Amino acid sequence: MIPAAKGGTELATKDDKKVADERQKALADALKKIEKNFGKGSIMRMGDKVDTRISTISTGSLALDDALGVGGFPRGRIIEIYGPESSGKTTIALHAVAEVQKQGGTAAYIDAENAMDPKYASALGVNIDDLLLSQPDTGEQGLEIADALVTSGAVDIVVIDSVAALVPRAEIEGEMGDAHVGLQARLMSQALRKLSGSINKTKTIALFINQIREKVGVMFGNPETTPGGRALKFYATIRLEVRRAEQLKDGTNVIGNHTRIKVVKNKVAPPFKVAEVDIMYGHGISQTGEILDMAAEKDIVNKAGSWYSYGDERIGQGKENAKAYLDEHPDVKAEIKAKVRTAYGMDDMPTEENVEAKEEAEQKAEETDLLSGTEEK
């Protein structure tokens, strides 16, 4: 066996370094060429000065904010809400619209079902005077309007209600018995390919409401499916399944529904969490009710039998009486809500309020450091 020449390892190391330098130079040239052709920011290293935090808007429900894991609906993403009829899908969407408007944002509502109730929307906190509303004639028209609104960069949330009602033009112009296989699926697939990039760039929330259909002849497994093909399932960052669990009664009168919202898909936090909320007729999600439920779960409010008590004070027998007490005592309600947020770790979630508060605190800290540095000099 011939012994290795001295300095062989050093030569190999030098060759490796030369190859690595050439590769880095080639990469730098490629990056310059890409930026020249497609504009600055078209490609970058993930560690460069880019805000990697997921900015969110509250859903208007504490329980749902917690279940989503990031404190609300993430900006620049596609959300799908689906479920049976009258389960609360539109209510959740309208609460999200109200939250966007509260923070000074602009909301648009594409009402393909022609079922928008301004009175109910107003009761949920939506400013109907500022809400942009469109009732398109065809699916193509509705999605083109959505694309124009998203591309403008001036709208914070676009709600499409619903995917099932986005009827292709060919189907509207055709006869009643005509078969139009896969038309709507192709329409949705094309629209989402076009929309996804601009939604991310403009940080607009695109919220699609969808219905449920049943597959024919399914013997095993879940026969339920959502219309509009598979594209929306793939493009959606979050998919929420909304179902009524039980009726809420005041004596013999039905006053609302106890609703279960399951996070079926979540790309920004662990999925499969469940939020349970009370949706009251004419009022939407009962925020007092969910504060009470979440507080009882963390022993902030004690529940013994049908009695609720906070500290040494009994606040009501039965949930409705306890809710009425909290509504009459907003200071106690605010105190319990703050404790609930802390107990569930929601103060650290990247909601608009938390991000702004953190930025203000960081700015103040920088100013203090600058002042102390000047004084030392």
Classify the phi-psi angles of 305: left when phi > 0, otherwise alpha if psi is within -120 to 50, otherwise beta: left
- The binding site comprises 83-90
Q: For residues 131 and 160, is the Cβ–Cβ distance under 8 A?
A: no
Q: What's the DSSP call for residue 351?
A: B
Residue type at 219 in one-letter notation: M
Q: For residues 291 and 301, is the Cβ–Cβ distance under 8 A?
A: no
Residue 26 and residue 150: Cα distance in Å, rounded? 37
For residue 261, give Cα distances in angstroms to 2, 243, 277.
Answer: 73, 7, 8
Residue 13's φ and ψ, nearest 5 degrees, are -65, -40
List of residues 6+ apart from 80 with CB closer than 8 A: 163, 208, 209, 210, 226, 232, 233, 236, 238, 239, 240
- The binding site for ATP comprises 83-90
Tokens coding 90: 């539109």
